[in-house]
Amino acid sequence: MTSDAYQKLAKLGLPYPSISSLEDVLSESTLPDDYFFLRTKKTHNLPKYANKQYFVNNYERMLELIHNGILMQIEPGILSKYGGCVLNQSGYTYIELVIGHLSGLLLNGWCSQRSLFFDTEFKQTSINQAEMVEIDYQNHQIKKSRKIDRPQMEKLARNINHYMRNIDKYLLEFIVDYNDNIFFVDYKDYVWQMDFEVIFDNKAKEGNIYTGGDTVGFDESTSDLFTGRFMLESLDRVHPNTILVLNNNALISHFVTYSLRNGLSTIIK
């Protein structure tokens, strides 16, 4: 998570999860079954969710982690029905949605629906995913994916697009709770220019979605195609001379973003 994410999201006028203090968690109004999300730095091992008793038992440690900046924020526990990312570029708004938790898209490269808005034009395509990440207060598990509700996901995409007015150049991550409330949870600068329309061109079996980066020394004849799943754990298999084949993977997954940062030159349909 970007350290100033919520401050930036507030300036952009976007909804984001509320923040609780340690005193809020320990107050008399907090019920034993109330859970809180612990937003931490990646390098530290803490539970995703914890109840009041956990904070009571680990009070001194919580104070230390907050002081050291390891425990970045405490938030009321929101369970995710959908997750996704949205990117505005050159008048286009591109959205990827995943059933279940956002980590399914970011870490596993799963994508349940893509949407593209341009002026009055709207395009979408649905992708059947076999698996999803489900997080409850006790578990974080991969299970069989729920079926795609196309009308509901189209409505959600349109609501996300509505928030994107006058917002540009950022990649935004969001979650959707079981009451269909949208919460933006992170933002990142995004400097790579994509040709989103290629993805939605059903007549073209092939096409370049991205061509850029450091093309010095790039030799297509010696490059290798990566056609696998865009899982973060496969990142070491990608180098600047790799050509990524999107297939049914998430274009805005961490796998792609980190590959671009490392100098990846080509992504094709």
Q: Mean pLDDT check: name the lowest of 26-30, 49-53, 212-216, 253-257.
A: 212-216
Percent of the chain at pLDDT > 70 equals 96
The number of residues in the chain equals 269
- CA quadruple 66, 70, 72, 77: dihedral positive or negative? negative
Q: What is the mean pLDDT of residues 89-104?
A: 94
Q: What whole-number distance in Å separates Cα of residue 186 and Cα of residue 79?
A: 17
Domain ranges of the chain: 18-76, 196-268
Q: What is the mean pLDDT of residues 151-164?
A: 95
Chain-centroid distance of CA 176 in Å reads 12
Given a cut of 90, whether residue 87 has pLDDT beyond it is yes
Give residue 218's pLDDT.
47
Q: What is the mean pLDDT of residues 110-134?
A: 94
Q: What is the mean pLDDT of residues 237-244?
A: 91
Give residue 219's pLDDT.
55
pLDDT band at 163 (very low <50, low <70, confident <90, very high): very high
Give residue 221's pLDDT.
59
Q: Report yes or no: 22 and 190 within 8 Å, Cβ to Cβ.
A: no
DSSP helix/strand/coil, 136 = coil
Given a cut of 70, whether residue 224 has pLDDT beyond it is yes
Given a cut of 90, whether residue 180 has pLDDT beyond it is yes
Condensed to tens digits (0 to 9), the pLDDT of residues 184-199 reads 999 999 999 999 999 9
Q: What is the mean pLDDT of residues 83-87?
A: 97
Q: Using CA atoms of 254, 152, 134, 138 in order, give the dihedral in degrees to the nearest 10.
A: 120
Give CA separation, 166 vs 162, 183, 184, 235, 252, in Å: 10, 18, 16, 34, 21
Q: What whole-number distance in Å separates Cα of residue 51 and Cα of residue 35?
A: 4
DSSP letter string over 29-62?
TS-TT-EEEEEE-TTS---SEEEHHHHHHTHHHH
Q: What is the mean pLDDT of residues 233-246?
A: 92
Give residue 214's pLDDT.
53
DSSP helix/strand/coil, 235 = helix
The residues facing 37 across adjacent strands are 49, 75
Q: What is the mean pLDDT of residues 239-267?
A: 94
Prediction pTM value: 0.91
Given a cut of 70, whether residue 215 has pLDDT beyond it is no
